[in-house]
Amino acid sequence: MEKNTKTVATLYQKLHTAKSQIGKVAKNATNPHFKKSYADINALLTAVEPILLENGLILLQPIVGNDVVTRIIDIDSGEMVESFMTLPIITDPQKVLSAVTYFRRGTLQSLLSLQAVDDDGKAASIAVAPVKPALDNARFESAVASISAGKYTKEQLIEKWTLTEVQLKALEL
């Protein structure tokens, strides 16, 4: 009598194998607003879906209520992992379909931690200079006295504080 010693891979083992095979997804589209290239939903599916299927995983992207859901299901065990995003309230059908496609792409990228270009998060990535506090007149006079005594410089004052036009002119003297 022969024993079946075949080990069945778990969902996470299958995902690990699939992720190691996927690699980088080719960029095939351009966002004209930001002049940046990115991988659209079709490029993602072309790169990902055959590898998932080879590893016994199926990709589904249903809309459940107001959520665009991406599910990767192990066909052997029925286990799954999922990612979802809630659709905004939109009444224009074309805009709804555009949002669905965008969210499908986002949830798939997120679920598989795919390398992707942040094609419209440019504004979020720009470093914002910290807001410098204002300097009231009493503290300004104290700072000027410290500058006169050689304990502080004009450059340090300007770098650390937001000064009024009057205060800046007073420093020119």
Q: Is pTM, for the whole model, over 0.75?
A: no
> 84, 67 in Cβ contact below 8 A?
yes
Alpha carbon distances (Å) from 33 to 12, 66, 99:
38, 28, 17
Which residues have a Cβ under 8 Å from the Cβ of 115 and sit 6 or more positions away?
A: 24, 25
pLDDT tens, N- to C-terminus, the chain (173 residues) = 455 555 678 999 999 999 888 877 766 666 665 566 667 888 889 889 999 999 999 999 999 999 999 999 999 999 999 999 999 999 999 999 999 999 999 999 999 988 754 444 444 445 555 667 777 788 888 888 988 999 989 888 888 888 888 888 888 86
All structural domains of the chain with their residue ranges = 11-125, 137-172
HSE-up of 128 (CA within 13 Å, CB side)? 7
